[in-house]
């Protein structure tokens, strides 16, 4: 993707003219739309749009923002503009299981995920050498019931210091405090190893085994203040049978989890995900 490609996203109450507000303005400024998605939700009466465009040679970001903000105000739009070359900064939190981390680092390394990873935070020291090999700072912040407030304060400080705009919980096996959850609401993605809303809470593969399901899965979702209940971004699935003991589900689940989490992270950083109440709109590719 060469320079001068931009992504404009917006959402607002449904109304005549919402699409034209975006497409018309881009056309009038001679910007070439290369990819366009929109969705008008007749249940929530919310409108969502994502336009990827190649700006004309004389593109002036400040002027464009000014011009669009007038339109946006008319339609009560929340909106974002960013260059596709812009790499969002992501902090990854992890404990000991590193199948998701390994996949994110791999996709980051080969450029399949267009992100920066300024920090990996873990409550265990185990994965430091993996982080090191990828040249990424590793913060080992052990946590116990007593130290949790202090530890979370450090977590928040790091996130702030590196100016992260997304936090990814890549199998971080600690329950976050309500305060941290609230702080991260809408800009932190968690991977839960079940097809939510089935098997919330601890040991979902063991729960799935007990129930005797023939399908297992994983769910990537934004966190909110209700455990395993935030808006779902992506789900992955696979078939199993009676011969899968819990440890076999765990093993099979690794590939499902990492693919699902990577996909959700990519959708987020490519500005493809919108919050729509407790649900999401995802303009997948």
Find all residues with CB under 8 Å of 102, minimum gap 6, and list them.
130, 258
Cα(199)–Cα(193) distance, integer angstroms: 9
- Tell me the site size for its own copies, rule CB under 8 A: 65
Give the 3-state secondary structure percentages of the chain, helix then strand then coil, rounded to 5: 35, 30, 35
Give yes or no for a contact between 117 and 124, defined as CB atoms under 8 angstroms apart: no
Asked if 70 is part of the footprint of its own copies (rule: CB under 8 A), the reply reads no
Cα(261)–Cα(171) distance, integer angstroms: 10
Could you tell me the smallest distance in angstroms from the CB atom of residue 4 to its own copies?
15
Q: Which is nearer to its own copies, 54 or 140 (CB)?
A: 54
Question: Please, what is the angle between helix 204-211 and helix 246-269, to 10°?
Answer: 120
Asked if 45 is part of the footprint of its own copies (rule: CB under 8 A), the reply reads no
Q: Which is nearer to its own copies, 19 or 156 (CB)?
A: 19
Could you tell me the smallest distance in angstroms from the CB atom of residue 202 to its own copies?
16
Q: For 87, which DSSP code?
A: -
Tell me which stretch binds its own copies (CB under 8 A): 61-69, 160-168, 185-193, 252-260.
252-260
Q: Which of 36, 156, 162, 227 binds its own copies (CB under 8 A)?
A: 36
Find all residues with CB under 8 Å of 186, minimum gap 6, and list them.
222, 224, 275
Asked if 85 is part of the footprint of its own copies (rule: CB under 8 A), the reply reads no
Q: Which one of the listed residues 40, 225, 228, 248 is annotated catalytic?
A: 228
Q: Which of 13, 27, 76, 80 binds its own copies (CB under 8 A)?
A: 27
Find all residues with CB under 8 Å of 187, minimum gap 6, and list them.
165, 166, 167, 222
Could you tell me the smallest distance in angstroms from the CB atom of residue 166 to its own copies?
19
Hey, which residues does 50 pair with through a beta bridge?
9, 37
Give yes or no for a contact between 76 and 47, defined as CB atoms under 8 angstroms apart: no
Residue 126 designated active-site: no
Could you tell me the smallest distance in angstroms from the CB atom of residue 143 to its own copies?
23
Q: Which of the residues 220 through 249 are near its own copies (CB under 8 A)?
A: 231-235, 237, 239, 241-245, 248
Asked if 77 is part of the footprint of its own copies (rule: CB under 8 A), the reply reads no
Q: Which is nearer to its own copies, 91 or 240 (CB)?
A: 240
Asked if 144 is part of the footprint of its own copies (rule: CB under 8 A), the reply reads no
Asked if 136 is part of the footprint of its own copies (rule: CB under 8 A), the reply reads no
The per-residue DSSP string of 159-187 comes to HHHTT-SEEEESS--SPPPHHHHHHHTTS
Q: For 239, which DSSP code?
A: E
Residues that bind its own copies (CB under 8 A): 16-17, 19-20, 23-24, 26-27, 30, 32-36, 38-43, 98-99, 102, 106, 110, 112, 129, 133, 195-199, 210-215, 217, 231-235, 237, 239, 241-245, 248, 251, 254-255, 259, 276, 278-282, 284-285
Catalytic residues: 228
């Amino acid at each position: 993707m060469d320079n001068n490609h931009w992504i404009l996203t917006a959402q607002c109450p449904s109304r005549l003219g919402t699409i034209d507000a975006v497409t018309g303005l881009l056309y009038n400024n001679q910007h070439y739309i290369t990819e366009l998605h929109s969705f008008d939700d007749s249940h929530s009466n919310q409108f969502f749009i994502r336009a990827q465009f190649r700006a004309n040679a004389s593109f002036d970001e400040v002027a464009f923002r000014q011009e669009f903000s007038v339109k946006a105000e008319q339609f009560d739009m929340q909106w974002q503009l960013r260059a596709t070359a812009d790499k969002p900064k992501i902090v990854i939190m992890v404990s000991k299981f590193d199948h998701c981390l390994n996949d994110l680092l791999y996709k980051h390394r080969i450029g399949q995920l267009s992100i920066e990873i300024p920090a990996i935070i873990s409550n265990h020291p185990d994965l430091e050498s993996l982080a090191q090999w990828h040249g990424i700072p590793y913060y080992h912040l052990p946590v116990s019931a007593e130290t949790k407030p202090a530890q979370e304060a450090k977590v928040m400080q790091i996130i702030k210091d590196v100016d992260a705009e997304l936090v990814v919980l890549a199998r971080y096996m600690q329950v976050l405090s309500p305060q941290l959850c609230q702080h991260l609401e809408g800009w932190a993605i968690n991977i839960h190893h079940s097809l939510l809303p089935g098997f919330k809470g601890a040991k979902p593969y063991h729960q799935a085994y007990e129930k005797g399901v023939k399908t297992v899965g994983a769910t990537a979702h934004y966190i909110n203040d209700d455990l395993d209940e935030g808006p779902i971004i992506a789900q992955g699935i696979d078939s199993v049978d009676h011969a899968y003991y819990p440890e076999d589900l765990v093993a099979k689940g690794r590939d499902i989890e990492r693919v699902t989490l990577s996909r959700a992270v990519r959708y987020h950083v490519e500005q493809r995900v919108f919050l729509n109440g407790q649900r999401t709109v995802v303009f997948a590719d």
